[in-house]
Structure 1
Amino acid sequence: MVPKSDSGGVLLFLGSLVLLGLLVGYFFVIPHSVTLQEPPAEEKQTTILLEEAEVTKVSARGREWALRAPHIEKQGDTVVLSSIVGTLFSGGMPLYEVRAQTGRVLLGTQSVFLEGVELCRVTTGERFFGRELSWQGEREEFSVVEARFVGQGVRAECGELVYNVAEKKAYLRGNVVVRLEMGKP
């Protein structure tokens, strides 16, 4: 006995073969232009670590600041420092000795940002303490956030102290408290 052929099954089988032939022809026989895209190149950031080094800004007016640290790390256009000791200059002469816990120097603008800072005026011994200090060289001024000032007969606290080196003027802003010590008769 010979089985009867199922014409629906045969048509389905032949249709599948034709479809398979078309797909093989399309993907493997007919040439196609293929555009290959390279993945975007990852930005390579080189980090440079210096031991016992100094970062200094020198302009036409002379040295403006010098910062020394046991570890200085350069990341792109930023220099990161810790345990900082340095000097702020005016007209090439030392103006303030600086100590700070951490800091950053932006090489593009040559601005300095320090945290946990203490400044001592070289000639008079006046001291500034603050949470943050930012030095804007182009304006020749620095600002100290949450500042305390201790000088001869004067103590002051404020939200921000701005000192313009060129004008030799200090501006106290935000919750200013000034204490004057009066001399003995």
Structure 2
Amino acid sequence: MIDLTNLYGDLNFGFFVWSRIYIGIGLPMIFLSITAASYEGIPKEQTDQASALINVARNVGGSMGVSLAQNVLAYRQQFHQSRLVEHVVPSGPAYQQTLRAATEYFATHGASTADARKQAIAWIGQQVLTQASFLAYVDVFWTLALVSASAVPLAMILKPVRRGGDRPPEY
């Protein structure tokens, strides 16, 4: 997740390949550890009930994670939008220059002068929303990275799991 906080608009395919590789390495480590710890001490005749409870817990946890990510995304998008709009001042020289260039672009592509200006204003607004969404997704990746990092100390306090299960008695 920390790798995905380095997103920017000009990334190549290799960045996303490595990000998927990191996730592909990390997720099995998390789920294998959780699964092994959850079956510890359960008699063989009760593993089906334990499996059902583990699946319920996994589904509830996944739903809570999706809800957390969606909540962070919505609130951080509003936050970033309000911060970005502070810099989009119609009387500012940067806004006027961008408005003029966008109006010329839309006018050269077939729009009337009045329509080109409206399209340019809408385009500037869309750019603010796009940037706010982008920054909000980076915030979601940071949140997920922090939640994952906070789980590491919890994993350290789990008792060791016996490997091999029940062994036949030695004679």
Band the TM-score falls in, shorter-chain normalisation: under 0.3
> TM-score under structure 1 normalisation?
0.17
Q: Higher relative CO (CA 8 A, sep ≥ 6), structure 1 or 2?
A: 2
* Higher strand content, 1 or 2: 1
* Higher helix content, 1 or 2: 2
